[in-house]
Amino acid sequence: MSLEPENTEPIEETSISFLYFGGLKKLKELGYHPVKQNNLQRALILEEAVEKYGANEVYRMLYEAWLRNKSEFIRNRLKEDMDWLVINYDIDIYTFL
């Protein structure tokens, strides 16, 4: 019996493994990867995701991944992206707590 969530897709090309699960699968379809991309690339993909899914939904996807991840590096990257969404799209973060 595996402890990993079902239907996950591991990324093995980097030294830091990252699993796509839940809402992040939708962001993956747009090309999102918190480890391999710089801030500008992630911001462009997040803008596209906001147009497609809405700012609150994209924030929820990132928040879910932030809660599940154990890697401090990935958590920091996800937090940067969540902060970017809050600043640029005026999201009320208290609705997610």
Residue 11 lies in a domain: no
Domain that holds residue 78: 20-96
Residue 13 lies in a domain: no
DSSP 94: G
Per-residue pLDDT of the chain (97 residues; tens, 9 = 90+): 444 445 544 444 444 455 666 778 888 889 898 888 899 999 999 999 999 999 999 999 999 989 988 889 989 999 999 999 999 998 887 876 6
Residue 5 lies in a domain: no
Q: Record the tokens describing residue 87, joined without a space.
A: 């600043």
Q: Record the tokens describing residue 45, joined without a space.
A: 């993909």
| Measured torsion, CA atoms of residues 6, 10, 82, 57, in degrees rounded to the nearest 10 | -40
Separation in Å, CA 8 to CA 18, 23, 44, 50, 84: 10, 11, 24, 23, 26
Q: How many domains does the chain have?
A: 1
Residue 74 lies in a domain: yes
